[in-house]
A = this chain, B = another copy of it.
Amino acid sequence: MSKGRVTVVDIAHAAGVSKSTVSLVLQGSPLVNEATRAKVNAVIRDLGYVYNRAAANLRQTASSKIIGIVVNDLTNSFFAELAVGVDMVVQSAGYVQFLSNTGESIDRQREVIASMREHGISGLIISPARGTEAADFKPLVASGIPVVLTVRNISGAKVSSLLSDNRMGAAQAVAHLAGLGHRRIAFLGGFPDTAVFEDRLKGFRDGLAAAGLPFAEELIVGSAPSRAGGVEAIERAMLIAERPTAALCFNDAVAFGVCDGLRARRMEPGADFAVIGFDDVIEAKTAVPALTTVNVDPQGMGRRAAQLLMKQINAGKAEPEAIVGAVRLVVRQSCGAGMKNQQWRNAV
């Protein structure tokens, strides 16, 4: 019964045609007679034939219908959603995705990229691990495999990128806080040695400058970009002599941690301290208090990155393209926008 798999030759034999005809049917060629097509399709169903893509890809003409996606931290829901967005687009384009998580390890990243190449991916979407260098993409580019860099940029890499406008978003958030009357605004969380941190910090400074507020080094408190990191960051921020009354957080995970930390010291986020996050993950809307945050739409980014990649795959050799996605501040409760401004000045 199940001895060896069914091949085009088996189909051809059972349907009384040649394997070439079967092949034409498989790719929906208009050259084949309708009656023949129907007969072949019937046999295909009857024998439970499974198309062997690997064999088809052996010919240099076809592309593998596989794309790779590499993220630096899948346990962060931002990246999980990014992956979902990519999956949506590639699935409907008839592709499948290899997904790998590097957990910020460059060695692992190198391994998975090598492995993906061996499997013949047609393109790669990657949020690179910390410390990735432009040279790491050289071999991919040399063999004509389109690469879309997302979330984090790598300067000097001659590949496409899809980033969000971190600087503008951070500046908007600071402007909002300043408008509410805050004068001591902290920037909490994140690893200072990443491009994203740099961009958001630049925007933070832009916002302070635009509001005529001084920049104070001590109000920048780095930490792991996680919930636990947020708890730690707010604790350290509260040790500062002249305490902040508001914070822009590196991302939503940090912001949630900051809220946790505030409550642990009997302060209510949105009432006693203003918190703004970054990313707008799903939970931001339903949390209590609902998180004011900069909407980045990770799922949308995933979709756009996938669309960009698809375009480049179909175009053959495509020029690197750099897209910066717009970003917008979503005002909810955690920044205390509904409160009287006065209280913040008295808070210190």
Contact = CB atoms under 8 A, between A and B. Distances in A.
B111 A91 contact: yes
A77 B252 CA distance: 15
Interface stretch (A94-102, A128-136, A334-342): A94-102
A74 B66 contact: no
A165 B260 CA distance: 31
B48 A58 contact: no
Interface string A42-78: 0000001011111101101000101000000011010
Interface in A131-157: 139, 142-144
A271 to B, nearest CB: 12
A59 to B, nearest CB: 11
A112 B91 contact: yes
Given A54-B119, A96-B119, A286-B257, A87 B101 contact: yes
Interface size class of A (residues with CB under 8 A): 35 or more
A301 interface: no
Given A80-B74, A84-B74, A264-B288, A119 B66 contact: yes
How many protomers of this protein does the assembly include?
Answer: 2
The residue among A119, A144, A231 with the most chain B CB atoms within 10 A of its own CB is A119
A322 interface: no
Interface residues of chain A: helix, strand, loop or mixed (majority): helix
Given A54-B57, A288-B263, A96 B75 contact: no
24 contacts: A2-B143, A5-B143, A48-B139, A50-B118, A52-B120, A54-B55, A55-B58, A58-B58, A74-B84, A83-B99, A83-B101, A84-B101, A84-B103, A87-B99, A91-B108, A91-B111, A96-B100, A96-B115, A99-B99, A227-B283, A227-B287, A228-B286, A256-B287, A260-B287
Given A52-B118, A54-B120, 12 more contacts: A53-B119, A53-B120, A54-B57, A54-B58, A54-B119, A77-B80, A84-B103, A87-B101, A91-B108, A91-B112, A228-B286, A260-B288
